[in-house]
């Protein structure tokens, strides 16, 4: 009887072992698996290999767990009959179920969730050996199970997607591990891979440029007052940019040079890029060529605007200002409950992050202003009210046929 009691205790311990191992492996994230490989080498690789074969892993653990639970039940039944008779089997079943739940299931799994990396590291060799011992049974069970599963569920693979990664960062913010600005920066870094450069250009109507035929002495004061360090230079009309002038180079010249040179004599060759290029591609181009400004052309080769290295950096870090710039207000300003003032050039990403709404739009539209014009098919007038499924828009300011600002309200559903 003593041997039976010892075996029963061993079976309960083994039940806890299999339960904790199962929970440890199923709760192991891809990041944790990579950490184990980096920190423990081959031992970590063994864990990673098992986690990449969930069918073999789970079948091995479930076979082991069921065998020890059946063994515990058999021993407990034998002991109960020999000690108290068959009438006590009902009490034994209840007591054994309670013991298995506490010591074989709940407690081991709670421990495994807190120490999953450690448990995986030490149990992986045992699981690997058992997977070879149970190989014939695993093959048969997996074959039958997979055949049934395919009828109801399509084949899926556990992968780390961009959406999951951003969700993890957002969860880190909610838990206080990641700061709000860090969460936003991570989102911005991944977004620049999909954002076309036309979404951040300074529009051609807002570009400060000068005629290439102007003498330096005539242009220098205006250039200094503009506050820009790099000035586009055009020939004949502002749409035809032919060069870039660096203000820092002009201030080095003597008065005689300023009087005799025109802008075309000191300008540099501009970098032209198509408006379809992505922000990350332009940033790489800036680094490779060691320049800070590019001329953006539309699909017909006409001027779309300009973009600078600072514009690209601001896509990641937010707006940057120097001592000569006037700080702009936020593009989305909360007025009251469910009401906001939104700048016309606000991106859909910013609207999603701030208001948590998705706006269906064509790929060529990048701002809320363009979205509204696309929806109604004309340039709205100031004061015009537009009602859509997501809410009500009131046009506040229109300039040069472009929406400058709108008031957006979410209309409660009655």
Please tell me the predicted confidence (pLDDT) of residue 154.
60
How distant, in Å, are the alpha carbons of 118, 147, 266, 319, 368 from that of 352? 40, 42, 45, 18, 11
29 vs 328, more confident: 29
Check whether 81 has a pLDDT greater than 70: yes
Mean pLDDT for the chain overall: 84
Confidence grade of residue 320 (pLDDT, cut at 50, 70, 90)? low
pLDDT in tens, 101-124: 888 888 988 999 889 899 999 999
* Rounded Cα gap, residues 268 and 233, in angstroms: 9
* Rounded Cα gap, residues 342 and 333, in angstroms: 7
Please tell me the predicted confidence (pLDDT) of residue 231.
92
**Mean pLDDT within 273-300:** 89
CA nearest 25: which of 59, 2, 1, 75? 59
Confidence grade of residue 242 (pLDDT, cut at 50, 70, 90)? very high
Confidence grade of residue 244 (pLDDT, cut at 50, 70, 90)? very high
How distant, in Å, are the alpha carbons of 18, 347, 373, 393 from that of 410? 53, 18, 19, 9
**Mean pLDDT within 61-76:** 87
* Rounded Cα gap, residues 244 and 246, in angstroms: 7
Check whether 194 has a pLDDT greater than 60: yes
- Of 9-13, 17-21, 179-183, 367-371, the range with the lowest mean pLDDT is 179-183
Confidence grade of residue 95 (pLDDT, cut at 50, 70, 90)? confident
pTM of the model: 0.56
pLDDT in tens, 146-189: 788 777 766 555 556 667 777 777 788 787 777 877 777 888 78
């Amino acid at each position: 009887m003593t041997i039976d009691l010892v075996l029963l205790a061993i079976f309960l311990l083994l039940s806890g072992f299999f339960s904790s191992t199962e929970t440890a492996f199923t709760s192991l994230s891809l990041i944790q698996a990579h950490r184990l490989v980096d920190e423990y080498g081959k031992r970590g690789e063994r864990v990673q290999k098992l986690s990449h074969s969930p069918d073999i892993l789970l079948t091995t653990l479930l076979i082991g767990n069921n065998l020890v639970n059946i063994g515990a039940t058999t021993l407990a039944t034998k002991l109960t009959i020999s000690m108290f008779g068959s009438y006590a089997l009902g009490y034994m079943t209840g007591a054994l179920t309670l013991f298995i739940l506490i010591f074989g299931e709940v407690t081991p799994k709670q421990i495994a969730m807190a120490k999953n990396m450690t448990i995986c590291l030490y149990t992986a060799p045992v699981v690997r050996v058992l997977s070879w011992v149970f190989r014939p049974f695993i093959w048969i069970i997996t074959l039958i199970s997979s055949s049934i599963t395919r009828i109801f569920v399509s084949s899926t693979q556990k992968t780390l997607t961009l959406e999951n990664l951003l969700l993890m960062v957002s969860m880190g913010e909610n838990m206080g591990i990641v700061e709000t600005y860090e969460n936003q920066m991570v989102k911005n870094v991944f977004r620049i891979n999909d954002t076309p450069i036309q979404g951040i250009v300074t529009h051609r109507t807002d570009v400060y440029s000068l005629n290439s035929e102007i003498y330096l002495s005539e242009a220098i004061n205006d250039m200094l007052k503009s506050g820009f360090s790099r000035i586009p230079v055009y020939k004949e009309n502002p749409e035809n940019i032919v060069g870039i002038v660096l203000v820092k180079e002009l201030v080095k010249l003597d008065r005689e040079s300023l009087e005799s040179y025109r802008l075309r004599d000191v300008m540099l060759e501009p970098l032209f890029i198509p408006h379809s290029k992505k922000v990350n591609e332009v940033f790489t181009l800036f680094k490779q060529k060691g320049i800070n400004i590019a001329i953006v052309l539309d699909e017909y080769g006409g001027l779309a605007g300009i973009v600078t290295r600072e514009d690209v950096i601001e896509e990641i870090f937010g707006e940057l200002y120097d001592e000569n710039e006037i700080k702009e207000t936020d593009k989305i300003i909360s007025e009251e409950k469910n009401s906001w003032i939104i700048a016309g050039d606000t991106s859909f990403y910013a609207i999603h992050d701030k208001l948590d709404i998705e706006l269906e739009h064509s790929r060529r539209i990048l701002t809320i202003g363009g979205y509204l014009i696309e929806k109604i098919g004309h340039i709205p007038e100031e004061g015009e009210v537009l009602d859509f499924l997501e809410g009500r828009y009131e046009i506040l300011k229109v300039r040069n046929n472009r929406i400058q600002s709108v008031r957006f309200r979410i209309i409660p559903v009655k």
